[in-house]
Homo-oligomer: A and B are copies of this chain.
Amino acid sequence: MIYVRNAWYVAAWTQDLEVEKPLAIDLLGEPVVIWRSQRGDIAALENRCVHRLAPLSLGRCEGDKLRCMYHGFLYSRDGHVSEIPGQDVIPASAKVKSYPVTEKHSWIWVWMGDPDKADEALIPPAVGFDDPNYILGRGHFDYAAEARLISDNLCDFSHLTYVHANSFGAGDDFAKTAPNIAALDRGVRFSRWITGTAGPAARSNDELIDAWSSYDYLIPGVLLMWSGSFKRGYAEECKYGPPQDLDDAIRGVTFTSQAVTPMTEKTSRYFFSWGPHVKHGDEALRDILMGVAGQAFAEDKTMIEAQQAILDKTETPRVLPSAHDRGVVMFNKLVERLAKEERSVDASAA
């Protein structure tokens, strides 16, 4: 698997990292333990005791430290062993890898690359539960599939017409037209107007509107999308560019943040939130949206895990990209370029 390492990966929902309950997750194939101290600090270490490789995630929090509960090695937040029961001297080699970790927009982010380059400005601007403008629900699914397959899926929404025929309910026309696609520094932007429509199936309306949606798919695999309904003709007013003002939306403004995290070569965790703008909905609408999302994301999972199973049976897999793969190809090339740059920096540093 080729992944960018100098990036922030979503490891958990903030809400799921409880105080003094260490959480284990594999990230890019590396076992990681994350914990939150009583004081509220979080830390992320290699989840593998230097002593005999027991997982520290079965450990006990003591102050801001974490004790391996096999034979009691005590770890500082920086990965150094600070106590070995029954032994006075602690060898310098008694340390595990420590990962930059931070909490933002309701997600726990772990930096998997060079710690010196861990820059919080690179955290994608997701919308978290701390944003007063949105009423969100959240969830996550574990995939028995490579993360790249999920990213591919998210960079080509023409699948909405087929995979989600029974949930999101995009019509045939949706798959026949392409969104606007634009390169970003660390991602790809997809946007489109659908003019004179009744709106999304689950929230359609007699009054025809111009529907806008736009999402950025960002390194390492974060989707941030907002959608809204505008009065008929508004798209033309904007010359089919982005809405001049979100406040012009007459209804249906929602935001969804999604993150695809590669755990191992063929397992991934997919995090998602969705909900209406406070001016355009309430908890009840949020619950309806989450119901639709739950069904739709289960449809994706069924398809992508089946795709992975076929891949596993295929000696030399080849794909035949279609016109809709433009965004997929752009994002994958970006990943490859950034990964390659990282490797050449590593090589020249060595």
Contacts and interface: CB of A to CB of B under 8 A. Distances in A.
Interface of A: 26, 29, 31, 47-48, 50-55, 58, 60, 67-73, 84-87, 91, 93-94, 152, 156, 158-159, 161-163, 165, 172, 175-178, 264, 302-303, 306-307, 309-311, 313-314, 317, 319-324
A303 B58 CA distance: 8
A52 to B, nearest CB: 5
A132 to B, nearest CB: 38
Contacts of A31: 310, 313
B26 A313 contact: yes
Contacts of A309: 55
Contact of A51 (B68, B72, B264, B320): B320
Given A71-B175, A71-B324, 11 more contacts: A48-B310, A53-B319, A58-B306, A67-B162, A70-B163, A71-B159, A71-B322, A72-B158, A86-B158, A86-B177, A87-B322
B303 A54 contact: yes
A320 B320 CA distance: 50
Nearest to A93: B320
B51 A322 contact: yes
Contacts of A324: 71, 85-87
Q: How many copies of this kind of chain does the complex include?
A: 3
A86 B175 contact: yes
Nearest to A67: B162
Contacts of A86: 158, 175-178, 322-324
A55 B320 contact: no
B159 A70 contact: yes
A53 B85 contact: no
B53 A87 contact: no
Contacts of A52: 152, 307, 319
A86 B172 CA distance: 10
Contacts of A53: 307, 310-311, 314, 317, 319
Of the candidates A53, A159, A176, the one having the most CB atoms from chain B within 10 angstroms of its own CB is A53
A91 B314 contact: no
Contacts of A69: 162-163, 165, 303
Given A69-B303, A324-B87, A47 B162 contact: no
Contacts of A48: 310, 314
A161 B72 contact: yes
Contacts of A60: 162
B84 A51 contact: no
B320 A91 contact: yes
Contact of A302 (B58, B72, B91, B177): B58
A177 B310 CA distance: 48
Nearest to A47: B310
